[in-house]
């Protein structure tokens, strides 16, 4: 036995010297396995002779065991993930699954939304219907073609500014400077084009870029310096109001050319009846094709999708509304240019928010800033860009207001304009707490605000009463928003 062991040791000695680098490379793995080796120490000491004889074989088998262990763990994880994936597929978007139950599914979905506090735009649509019925009963001219056309044109200035506010509200912040910024844009166009003779298109571009720059400046102080957005934009409200007054000078009013670029924003109409009907048909076709394509994409991905009948029904409802609006516009002066521009802006911004990575980042920041930062989102850049957009749309809205009165004066951007803009965004369905809203809310909210104003004006209601009624509507909307958020939190959706 001694001779045999001696020969075996001599034979294995060179082999032990040869794999020395491999043993050094395997040192971290041996250190990681130290706790297990210490636990097995008594057994190893008892079986020392056998282990020494079998050491080469164990060393050769050890890597195979280490490789096999992760493989077994991976296999077990694959089974678990496959089951979870199957469950996730069957649980995706219960609202779409309910729709597949037919008419009963709509009722079940409505009850689920009410229970979860997810009513969407239903309260606004109901409110618009109530407003129309009440004011039409009070004055038969409310639903006349002329009055509805005037409402459609007037709401564009408020709605355009509300689009920018919606972006800011999605972050859970507020911008109090949009009224003053709108006044500055009108003053810039008037001073450059009228006083200094600059090309009106170029003056308009300078005004829009100036609005975006002002918004970006506010965003810098908020996102980079860390000052509260409320305080920064409140300071901006005062500063840019003074800047506007300084631009207008002692006279305080600069009249614009009614036939110029800015002047025609609210006075130009497409008188051909084909324009309004064509826009209505284009809107319905675009909605149907977009919904149908999205439906096929979801079906191809194996996730629940809407029944084709659901898409057809929604398209029919949209067609009724669109062609009714086109008919009423054609009964007066035709399709307003202002309304066309506003609708294009709504479609473009809605696409940005719902279909791009940038839009998803905005919603993510509105949900949780810290979680967004940990996910790799450049929080500062997104915040600055959002306030720049708010400034841009405030400037655009200011141009429509300047076009409405064909002048830039000292009262531009003042009064109840700021409150109406914020009210339009909130009344339309955008949450004050961030993370919930769409740019189409600007259309609904502005329509509610302007409809109330025109209805009260037809009844000869004084301005103080108009302010009180508008404030009451805004308060009711904020209360509904707060109650809805609490309901969603209770249902686990907030």
Residues 266 and 284 in one domain: no
Query: For residue 84, is it within any domain?
Result: no
Residues 232 and 266 in one domain: yes
Residues 253 and 298 in one domain: no
Render pLDDT for 349-361 as a digit per residue (tens, 0 to 9).
999 999 999 999 9
Query: For residue 58, is it within any domain?
Result: yes
Residues 188 and 316 in one domain: no
Query: For residue 138, is it within any domain?
Result: yes
- Rounded distance, CA 143 to CA 136, Å? 6
C-alpha closest to that of 175 among 217, 146, 209: 217
The predicted structure's pLDDT at residue 157? 95
Render pLDDT for 8-41 as a digit per residue (tens, 0 to 9).
444 444 444 444 444 443 343 444 344 444 444 4
The predicted structure's pLDDT at residue 226? 92
Cβ-in-10-Å burial (0-12, 13-18, 19+) of 288 comes to: middle
Render pLDDT for 236-255 as a digit per residue (tens, 0 to 9).
999 999 999 999 988 888 99
Residues of the chain with pLDDT under 50: 1-92, 95
Record the pTM: 0.77
3-state per-residue secondary structure call for 104-153: HHHHHHHHHHHHHCCCCCHHHHHHHHHHHHHHHHHCCCCCCHHHHHHHHH
Render pLDDT for 403-456 as a digit per residue (tens, 0 to 9).
999 999 998 888 889 989 999 998 888 888 888 889 999 999 999 999 999 999
The predicted structure's pLDDT at residue 469? 85
Residues 245 and 316 in one domain: no
What is the domain extent for residue 426?
121-271+333-490
Residues 187 and 149 in one domain: yes
Cβ contact 435:372 at 8 Å? no
Query: For residue 9, is it within any domain?
Result: yes
Residues 232 and 311 in one domain: no
Query: For residue 466, is it within any domain?
Result: yes
Query: For residue 94, is it within any domain?
Result: yes
* Number of neighbours of residue 455 by Cβ within 10 angstroms: 22
Query: For residue 69, is it within any domain?
Result: yes
Residues 39 and 160 in one domain: no
- Rounded distance, CA 369 to CA 376, Å? 11
Residues 72 and 96 in one domain: no
Residues 401 and 281 in one domain: no
Q: How many domains is the chain built from?
A: 4
Residues 199 and 347 in one domain: yes
Residues 339 and 446 in one domain: yes
Query: For residue 160, is it within any domain?
Result: yes
The predicted structure's pLDDT at residue 67? 40
């Amino acid at each position: 036995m001694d001779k045999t062991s001696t020969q075996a040791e001599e034979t294995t000695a060179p082999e032990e010297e040869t794999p020395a680098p491999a043993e050094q490379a395997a040192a971290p793995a041996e250190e990681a396995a130290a706790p297990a080796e210490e636990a097995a120490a008594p057994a190893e000491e008892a079986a020392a002779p056998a282990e020494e004889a079998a050491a080469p074989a164990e060393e050769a088998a050890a890597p195979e065991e280490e490789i096999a262990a992760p493989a077994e763990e991976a296999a077990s994880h694959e089974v678990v993930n496959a089951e979870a994936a199957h469950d996730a597929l069957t649980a995706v978007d219960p609202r779409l699954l309910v729709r597949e139950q037919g008419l009963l599914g709509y009722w079940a979905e409505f009850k689920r939304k009410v229970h979860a506090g997810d009513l969407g735009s239903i309260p606004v649509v109901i409110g618009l219907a109530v407003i129309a019925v009440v004011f039409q009963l009070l004055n038969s001219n409310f639903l006349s073609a002329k009055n509805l056309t005037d409402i459609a044109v007037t709401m564009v200035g408020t709605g355009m500014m509300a689009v920018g506010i919606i972006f800011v509200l999605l972050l859970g912040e507020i911008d109090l400077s949009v009224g003053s910024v709108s006044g500055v844009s009108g003053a810039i166009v008037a001073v450059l084009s009228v006083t200094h003779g600059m090309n009106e298109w170029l003056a308009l571009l300078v005004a829009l870029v100036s609005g975006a720059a002002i918004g970006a400046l506010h965003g810098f102080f908020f996102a980079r310096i860390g000052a509260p957005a409320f305080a920064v934009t409140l300071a901006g409200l005062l500063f840019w109001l003074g800047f506007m007054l300084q631009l207008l000078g002692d006279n305080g009013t600069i009249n614009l050319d009614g036939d110029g670029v800015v002047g025609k924003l609210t006075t130009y109409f497409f008188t051909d009846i084909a324009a309004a009907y064509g826009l209505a048909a284009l809107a319905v076709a675009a909605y149907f094709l977009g919904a149908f394509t999205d439906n096929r994409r979801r079906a191809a991905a194996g996730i629940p999708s809407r029944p084709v009948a659901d898409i057809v029904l929604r398209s029919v409802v949209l067609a009724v509304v669109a062609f009714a609006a086109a008919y009423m516009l054609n009964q007066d002066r035709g399709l307003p240019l202002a309304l066309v521009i506003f609708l294009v802006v709504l479609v473009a911004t809605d696409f940005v928010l719902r279909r791009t990575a940038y839009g998803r980042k905005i919603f993510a920041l509105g949900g949780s800033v810290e979680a967004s930062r940990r996910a790799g989102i450049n929080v500062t850049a997104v915040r600055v860009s959002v306030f720049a957009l708010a400034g841009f749309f405030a400037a655009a809205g200011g141009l429509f207001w300047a076009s409405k009165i064909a002048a830039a004066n000292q009262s531009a951007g003042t009064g109840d304009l700021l409150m109406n803009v914020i009210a339009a965004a909130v009344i339309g369905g955008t949450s004050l707490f961030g993370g919930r809203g769409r740019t189409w809310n600007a259309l609904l909210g502005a329509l509610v605000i302007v409809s109330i104003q025109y209805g009260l004006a037809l009844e000869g209601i004084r301005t103080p009463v108009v302010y009180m009624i508008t404030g009451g509507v805004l308060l009711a909307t904020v209360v509904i928003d707060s109650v809805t958020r609490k309901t969603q939190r209770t249902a686990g959706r907030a």
